[in-house]
Structure 1
Amino acid sequence: MTTKTAQIPAPDTSLSLAAPKVALILAAEVLFARDGIEGASLREIAAQAGQRNHHAVQYHFGSRDSLVQAIFDYRMNQMESARGAMLAVAEAARSLADLRTITEIIFRPQIELIDEFGDHSYAGFLTAYLLRYQARRFGQFGERVAPNLARTLVLLRACLDFLPEHVAQRRLVTACFMFLNILVIHTRDNGEEGERFEDAVIDTLGQIVAALAAPLPAET
């Protein structure tokens, strides 16, 4: 049974990190999305974040890789409250085993992650991140996984228990690319192309569910 999910709360904007680190994270997200993770200059990131110290990234994070992981962790933590609320609604409706519901919980909170320019630069960053960080274990996208995301991934794996581990992971990554592509294309919901953003989201989520649930090909 598919249930209507909860209205997604706005991302948690409380900053648990020091302000300069957050500024660097947000500046790096925009520049990594624009120039690629290896293409963006650490000096330019520091300047974009308003830091006079050209080596601010190295000072606060130590390395490019650590900054990349910090962006991922920061955004995952911002989506925790939204996922928690959606999980509670799904649990009350007894729909935690419904693939469409779990897919919505994974992907819809990403819509609310808007940068200072009104764009989904996070989508561009995460696309580059997924291309760079590849793992065969299901749900492995970094060193740490936020609790509500971890729970949702466990529920998703249960829905895909007919798939081998590496196939389930490959399909999940492919699903991520499908959804992120919609955010990149519709980075500003101006409706100029004749398709409402929400219509594109609904259609893409349907495609994702179909792709995730597709039966394995028969062995020849």
Structure 2
Amino acid sequence: MTVRTAQTHTPAISPAPDGPKVALILAAEVIFARDGIEGASLREIAAQAGQRNHHAVQYHFGSRDSLVQAIFDYRMDQMESARGTMLAAANANNRLSDLRTIAEIIFRPQIELIDEFGDHSYAGFLTAYLLRYQTRRFGQFGERVAPNLARTLVLLRACIGTLPEIVAQRRLVTACFMFLNILVIHTRDSAAQGEPFEDAVQDTLGQIVAALAAPTQAT
């Protein structure tokens, strides 16, 4: 799944205050979402990030795969503070074993990840990332997992503890696709979708909880 925007060519990313590596990460997220991880041009990413060196991606990250992982890690780190706050609130309210609460902690912080053009490009990027990098081990999506996300995934695993590992991971990935699809659909103009964005989020979270908690089918 890719995110398509109205522009034929993506406008250049404004220089990032944190330097060229962050500028490349943000530009790559948009272009990977638009063109796919394999289809995106590394030269175009460099140009959109304001880099004169056509090989800036290779210089700063070494490879396409390393850049992809850098985007994932950058965005996961951005969501850590929100997840920490939500975890503390859930703990204070004795909700750490409530599946809906844990699903909210996993998915809601993604809503705030808006790119420079007002789109949820991260949703398109992460969809492609999960299709490419998912494993059979529950909660494993890369080389490392940010601490608050790791804690939340442990709590989620406890909520669905009767499921076999491979089934639990498959359901988690499916749940991710369900939520990311809402973000992709509501990119730019949520009013055009015919329902308030929050209504779509609430309904999708309900579907996710039902899917995660559903009993396995007898063989």
Calculate the TM-score normalised by the size of structure 2.
0.91
Deviations 1:48-78 (A, max 9, x none): 0000000000000000000000000000000
Q: Which structure ranks higher in relative contact order (CA pairs < 8 Å, sequence separation ≥ 6)?
A: 1
Distance in 1 of aligned mates of 2:18 and 2:61: 12
Look up the SS of the partner of 1:191 in the other structure. helix
Structure 1: stretches of 5+ with no match in the other structure = 1-14
Structure 2 contact 30–125 (Cα < 8 Å) conserved: yes
CA distance in 2 between counterparts of 1:190 and 1:207 reads: 20
CA distance in 1, matches of 2:195, 2:172: 26
Matched, 1:158 2:180: no
The residue correspondences of 1:106-121 to structure 2 (distance < 5 A) are 106-121=106-121
How far 1:193 moved relative to its partner? 3.0
Q: How far apart, CA to CA, are the structure 2 residues paired with 1:24 and 1:63?
A: 13
**What amino acid is aligned across from residue 115 of structure 1 in structure 2?**
D
1:60-209 aligned at under 5 Å gives the runs: 60-209=60-209
Question: Quick check: 1:26–1:71 contact (8 Å CA) kept in 2?
Answer: yes
Structure 2 unaligned spans of 5+: 1-15
* 1: CA distance, partners of 2:61 / 2:119: 25
- CA pair 18-190 structure 1, distance change in 2 beyond 3 A: closer
Residue-by-residue CA offset, 1:135-169 (whole Å, 9 max, x unaligned)? 00000000010000000000000001010000000
| Equivalent pair of 1:171/1:211 in contact (CA under 8 Å) | yes
Q: SS at the partner of 1:58?
A: helix
Match of 1:27 in 2: 27
Q: Distance in 2 between matches of 1:68 and 1:137?
A: 20
Pairs aligned (count): 204
Paired amino acid for 2:149: L
- Counterpart-to-counterpart distance in 2, 1:193 and 1:89: 32
Q: 2-side partners of 1:162 and 1:208: how far apart?
A: 17
- Quote the offset at 1:218 in angstroms: 1.8
2:44 match: 44
Distance 1:190 1:205 in 2: 17
Contact 2:186 2:193 in 1 (8 A): no
CA distance in structure 2 between the aligned counterparts of 1:170 and 1:36, rounded to whole angstroms: 22
Structure 1 residue ranges (4+ consecutive) displaced by more than 4 angstroms after TM superposition: none
Q: Deviations over 1:4-41 (max 9, x none)?
A: xxxxxxxxxxx9x9510000000000000000000001
What is the deviation of 1:189?
A: 4.3
**Letter of the 2:23 counterpart:** A
CA-based RMSD of the aligned residues comes to: 1.2
Cα contact 1:107–1:179 (8 A) shared by 2: yes
Counting aligned pairs with the same residue, the percent is: 86
CA gap of 1:135–1:190, structure 2 versus 1, over 3 A, is closer
The letter for the 1-side match of 2:118 is: G
